[in-house]
Each structure stands twice: as C-alpha cells, then as structure tokens.
Amino acid sequence: MRRRLAKEAESTGGAMRPLVWFRSDLRVHDNRALAQACRDAAGPVLGVFTICPKQWEAHDWSSAKVSLVMRTLAELSGALTALNIPLLIVEEPTFAGVPGRLLALAERHQCDGLYFSREYEWNERTRDEQVSQAFERTGRVVRTFSDRVLFEPGILRTQSGGMYTVYSPFRRACIARLLEGGLPEVEPAPRARAGSVCKPDRVPEAVAGFGGPTHADLWAAGESEAKKRLDRFARARMADYREARDLLAEPGTSELSPYLAIGAISIRACLARAARAAEGTIDGGPAGPCTWINELLWREFYTHVMWGFPRVSKGRAFRPETESIRWEEDERLFRAWCEGKTGYPIVDAGMHQMAQTGWMHNRARMIVASFLTKDLGIDWRSGERFFMRHLVDGDLANNNGGWQWSASTGTDAQPYFRIFNPVSQSRRYDPKGAYIRRYVPELERLDEKQIHEGGGLFRPGRYPAPIVDHATAREAALRRFGGNSEASR
Ligand SMILES: Cc1cc2nc3c(=O)[nH]c(=O)nc-3n(C[C@H](O)[C@H](O)[C@H](O)COP(=O)(O)OP(=O)(O)OC[C@H]3O[C@@H](n4cnc5c(N)ncnc54)[C@H](O)[C@@H]3O)c2cc1C
C-alpha cells in the first residue's frame, strides 16, 4: 500500500480527462491534486466529493465539523464552477461502497484518471488502496499527491532509519530540511478551463445523522474565511504569539485548526506566511512566528506518527506497555466531566467553551485531558471520542496525539508522567479569572483569588463541590501508573 500510494505517476503529457477527488483539501488555491489535474488535462476536468454519513459517524465526526465541511463544499463548488470544473457529489453510507461509486462516475463521464491528495488515517488508506486498485484494473491512471503535510510521512527518518517518536528531534529534522531545500512552493489557483462537460451537483445543506448548521455563526465557511483568519492573525497577533498563546482569556492563537483539519487552507500557505513574518529566519528568528511554526510542526509530527504507527488510528496506545493500565469505569464522574460539572472552575470552563463554540483553547484541552485521565483515572479513549464528537476541528492525528500525550501513553520526551494541578494551572493561565467568568457565569462575582478554587466558596446549589480531591487523586494516579517503570516516577 505504502509503495503504491507514495508513487506520484509520470506526467501524462496533457491528454487526460481527470476526476479530482476532494477530501481533506477543500480549496482551489495551493491544491496539489487539482493543480496537476489541470496541467495534465486535455480538456475538461471534473471534481467529486464523497459524503459517507455512516463512516463519519463511526469516526465520531461532530455536527460542527460536518456543518463546516458542507458549508465549505458549497463555497468550493462555486469557486470550481467559476473555473468550469463541476463538483459532483456522491453519497455512500460507508467507505466500502466508494470504489464502485467513483468508478461508475468515471465511466459515465469518460474520465481516465483519478487525482487525489493522500490521507493517512488507517481506514482512509485502506479505502484509497481499494479505489486505486479498482481504477487501475480498468486501465485508468491514479495519481496521488503529498499535500496535507510539509513532508511525506516516511521521508524523515532518524539516524538508525526509524520513524521519529519524539517531537524535538523531529522538529529539528524538519527545520534542517526546510533550511536546506527551501520552503515548499505555494501554488495559485488554476486558470479556468475552456469548457465543462456537465453541471455541478447541488451541495446538500445537511447530512443524515448530523444536525444542520452548527456553530455556523462562529465558523464562517471556506477558504476565503481561512485566508482572512491567517491574514488577521499574521497582522495582529503572530508577533506576540509566544507570550499570548497560553493565556486562556486572550484571542492569542490563530483559530485556524478547523480550516487546517478540512484543508480549507494549506499548511504551505501557513508556513509561508509565518516565514514572511520571521523575515526568512524560521529557526531562532523572531519569537512569535518561530513559535507558531513549531506548533505547525506538532501537527506535522502527529500526522507522521499516525502514519508510522497505524495502531494509534485503531484505538491502541502509542506505548503498548501502557495498555495494561487499569482505568476507572465511573459513569457518574465521566458525565460530570462531559457536562462541565466537576467543581474545578477551569476544567468546567474548558468543557463549556467546547459545548458552546465547538472549539477549546489548547491550554484548556491539556488541563481537561489531564483531569480526565489523571484526576478521574478514566481511559483517554473516552475523552478522545467525546472531543471528536464535539470539536469543529476534530482531527484524528492531533486529537489522538494530544490525548495520548496528556494520558502519558503517547509520544513524550518526559520519562515520567505529568499531572496538572487544575487550580495552579488556572491561576497561571487565567490569572484574573476572565476565561472562567466567560464560560461559568455562575462564578462571575467571585474575585480573582477565589475564582480558581472549587467548593465552599460558591453559593450552594449553584456550582458543584469538587467531584474529587486533587491531592488524593494525584496519589491514586501515581499508583495506577506504578507498575510501569517507564511511565511513572
Ligand atoms: C487533548 C487534546 C486534543 C486535541 N485535539 C485536536 C484536534 O482534534 N484537532 C486539532 O487540530 N488540534 C487538536 N489539538 C491541538 C491543539 O489544541 C489545537 O490544534 C489548537 O488549540 C488549535 O487552535 P489554533 O488553531 O488557534 O492553534 P494555533 O496555536 O494558532 O496553532 C496553529 C496550528 O498548529 C496546529 N497545532 C497547534 N498546536 C498543536 C498541537 N498541540 N498538536 C497538534 N497540532 C497543533 C493546529 O493545526 C493549529 O491550527 C488537541 C490538543 C490536545 C491537548
């Protein structure tokens, strides 16, 4: 599978009728598959998107993410129509039916080539292999592209030839490659085709099993919005990113994750913008842009890990030895966490932010994930699933990476595992309590000293007492990991 999909076919000399399969690359600018299809085509180019409601449900996609995808598709369809490229929509419950449906579509429109950018999740890779085989069996050309990441997974290797499993050396390898080879090119949108073979399909507004537009007022759709956000962030906030990114009440980060997750903006465009702000010094240059580049490289890292260690796509721990940890099964505690009723204001604020907006600040994600896995001792997989079902930016690699990092079952340079103290995290990253007041209004009258602490201080009946005692829970967490010398200290 690896060999076939990693192979980018020879140029076809401009004689193709390509079908471009859009997936997590919902844009016309800097879209490698689309750009090459337009170069290879003799005449018309067609686009297709596959809606797979049952598969999306099985992958825990949230209504917020589906809503953003569908609204972005509508914009993409308009942009493609302006280029005389009709976007066709295929609806098929699961991936299993996709090869047959795409092939039938290619036959109907006499397309002799399928072009798409690679995805790296296990089920997506399996689907792509089956689709490729179906097309190749009928003599059609399949061309796949590296688009989602800066470096194709598998290219960057340690000195001993293995995949990187620790972020810092991985980051250094990425930076060295970028300094050596230059930044990847950002391609413009292709020029309009001379003619089109058919009309685009109507993009449905909703998908069965998912709500209609969800958090649509907060997450405007499409690549135009993604570009606007990148510009605004680069102009107004990137310079201060290093200091502001951890402050929960500040709009200190780009809020581009939903758009990167569905490919409404390319990673290359983000990197190019940061490099411009860093005046070309992408390592050791201005702190704001360079720190932001490091975060983009965390995304890169987790995608490479997901490709190199497919078990993480299958619900398994990155560190197999942590599979023996005995997690608590306490539905009452889990519900309290899900509903933001833990009695720890900073945890509850984070969970309410996600419920109200479909997004959660990175620092809050780390705090609530640590709380679930360490203070409540609940399996990270429950948290991972709950996040996917609510986040507008749900992304298997980043979500899994973040959860396993927090649960100490994943990639981490630390030989011991960390347990966040929710109250000291709150004091440090929400010093005035403004984030808590925004998302837990019951506490708005508490002053900036009281607001971080749970229990007692609050009006009875309005805010819950802490569901666990942090100090006791911390001891229990140390014991839980105790049998595992690698993961505990
Ligand atoms: C438990 C947990 C779950 C997470 N789940 C997701 C998820 O489902 N989808 C998701 O995109 N991110 C996830 N993250 C990573 C991170 O929290 C978000 O990417 C970030 O908060 C998005 O905000 P932003 O776009 O303003 O980021 P910025 O700070 O502006 O960073 C720019 C981009 O870099 C990438 N990035 C930043 N931080 C990280 C990180 N720690 N790991 C990987 N990529 C990063 C994202 O693509 C982000 O959009 C998770 C983190 C944790 C701890």
DSSP 99-156: HHHHHHHHHHTT--EEEEE---SHHHHHHHHHHHHHHHHTT-EEEEE--SSSS-TTSS
Full DSSP string of 277-313:
HTTT--SSS-HHHHHHHHHHHHHHHHHHHHHH-GGGG
47 CB within 6 A, ligand 1: no
Cβ atoms of 174 and 156 within 8 Å: the answer is yes
> Number of structural domains, the chain?
3
Domain membership flag for residue 241 = yes
344 CB within 6 A, ligand 1: no
Residues 324 and 306 in one domain: no
CATH number at residue 48: 3.40.50.620
Residues 407 and 455 in one domain: yes
**Computed from CA positions of residues 211, 216, 217, 218, in that sequence, does the dihedral angle turn out positive or negative?**
positive
What are the catalytic residues? 295, 298, 327, 362, 380, 403
> How confident is the model over 51-68, as pLDDT tens digits?
999 999 999 999 999 999
Show which of 91, 112, 145 is a domain's final residue. 145
> How confident is the model over 118-158, as pLDDT tens digits?
999 999 999 999 999 999 999 999 999 999 999 999 999 99
Give residue 395's Cα distance to chain centre: 3
pTM over 0.75: yes
Read off the pLDDT of each residue in 292-317 and give the average, rounded to a whole number: 97
- First-residue to last-residue Cα distance in the chain: 41
Of residues 271 and 488, more confidently modeled: 271
> How confident is the model over 415-431, as pLDDT tens digits?
567 899 999 999 999 99
Which atom of ligand 1 is closest in space to residue 366's alpha carbon? 53
Pair of tokens at residue 355: 């419920």
What's the CA-to-centroid distance between 353 and ligand 1, angstroms?
15
What's the CA-to-centroid distance between 186 and ligand 1, angstroms?
22
Residues 127 and 236 in one domain: no
Using pLDDT thresholds of 50, 70 and 90, give the confidence band for residue 488: very low
pLDDT at 9: 44
- Which candidate, 21, 24, 27, places its Cα nearest to that of 225? 27
Burial 139-176 (b: 16+ CB within 10 A, else e): ebbbbbbbbbbbbbbeebeeeeeeebbebeebbebbbe
Mean pLDDT is lowest, of 438-442, 444-448, 465-469, for 444-448
Residue numbers of the domain that contains 399:
320-480
Residues 334 and 395 in one domain: yes
253 CB within 6 A, ligand 1: yes
Residues 329 and 248 in one domain: no
CATH number at residue 291: 1.25.40.80
Residues 356 and 405 in one domain: yes
Domain membership flag for residue 357 = yes
